[in-house]
Amino acid sequence: MTDRSNQKQARPGKPPSPEAEAQAVRDKTARLRALRLARDAEIAANAPPAPPKRAPAKKKSAKSAEKGPSLSDWLSTQQTQGRRN
């Protein structure tokens, strides 16, 4: 039985160990991060200048600025008119 376990370990198509897989993932992540940072730096260097800021929006009309009745007034009106919750 020992011979078989040695044969399995020495097989050329053996899957990599978890440590080797983790190292491969870290290497790939580092490579992709470097590529992404280089791409972002190139894009930032070639980006057109930011457009000027817009002027502030116009003020709302006086009609929309008026407030309605307070909540307590509205509730009392609803109650007096016979509406229920």
28, containing H or E segment: helix 18-46
**Is 65 a domain residue?**
no
Structural contact between residues 18 and 26, judged by C-beta atoms closer than 8 angstroms? no
Domain that holds residue 34: 13-47
pLDDT value at residue 42: 94
- The C-alpha angle 35, 41, 42, rounded to 5 degrees, equals 90
**Is 29 a domain residue?**
yes
**Is 80 a domain residue?**
no
**Is 40 a domain residue?**
yes
Q: How far apart are CA 63 and CA 70, in angstroms?
A: 17
pLDDT value at residue 62: 59
Total domains present in the chain: 1
**Is 79 a domain residue?**
no
**Is 41 a domain residue?**
yes
**Is 30 a domain residue?**
yes
pTM exceeding 0.75: no
**Is 82 a domain residue?**
no
Task: Report pLDDT digits (tens) over 17-33.
Answer: 999 999 999 999 999 99
Q: 57 or 39: whose pLDDT is higher?
A: 39
**Contact partners, residue 69, CB within 8 Å, separation at least 6:** 77
Checking if the pLDDT of 9 tops 70, the result is no
Checking if the pLDDT of 63 tops 70, the result is no
